[in-house]
Amino acid sequence: MSRLLTATPGQTVGPFFGYALPFDRCNELVPPGTPNAVQLHGVVADADGRGVPDALLEIWQADADGSIPNATGSLHRDGWTFTGWGRATTDEAGRYTFTTVIPGVSEPVAAPFILITVFARGLLNRLFTRAYIPGKQLENDPLLNTLTPERRDTLIATRDQTGLRFDIQLQDAQDKAETVFLRYPAHQQ
């Protein structure tokens, strides 16, 4: 096939995530209480600042050493195999949570991050973003260095008593800028 085919048009997703997509401990990349376990949590909010109650988030990340996991069985949580992938739904207030580890640096010049994909009602296609881990390595990250300071801040998680907080703003709101969303070459708008 030398001809490039047109992508199938997107169509809105949800609000039926609760029926087919969740699986046992889907938001636990590591079991709670595991040494070095942290919570990645936050709120997915709309343009009015209200939490989106029926969003679904997926994350992919490196392990604590910066290695990209290649273990099979992402849907099976055996308690010791870190697959680097998880899925969580938001509650009625738009809150989500994952139990995971802080990812290590996977590329010498890049800062560690967790890749997040957002599915929600009204979205014709999923959205991609990153939750960067706070620290001095942020100043050299190639992607972050292409953004203005205000836009850059929407990609950096904050530390709190349980781990990392990363709020996702789907559109600009009165007091919050829209989270930076990424587009990959094969991803349609």
| pTM of the complete model | 0.86
Q: What is the pLDDT of residue 93?
A: 97
Residue pLDDT, tens place only, 120-143: 888 878 899 999 999 999 999 999
85-89 sheet: strands from edge to edge: 85-89, 56-61, 113-119, 127-132
Question: 110 near 62, Cβ under 8 Å?
Answer: no
Domain over 37-169 is classified CATH 3.20.20.70: no
Q: Where are the domains of the chain?
A: 37-169
Displacement of CA 60 from its chain's centroid (Å): 7
Q: What is the pLDDT of residue 24?
A: 75
Q: What is the pLDDT of residue 132?
A: 98
Q: What is the pLDDT of residue 83?
A: 84
Residue pLDDT, tens place only, 69-105: 876 666 666 777 788 999 999 999 999 999 999 999 9
Asked if pLDDT for residue 184 goes beyond 90, the answer is no
Measured CA to CA in angstroms, residue 33 lies from 29, 38, 88, 95, 98 at distances of 12, 9, 19, 21, 13
Q: Whose CA is closest to 164, among 5, 18, 23, 38? A: 38
Q: For residues 6 and 4, give the distance between their C-alpha atoms in angstroms, rounded to a whole number.
A: 7
Of the pLDDT bands very low, low, confident and very high (cuts 50, 70, 90), residue 14 is: low
- Please name the residue ranges forming H helices in 26-182: 149-153
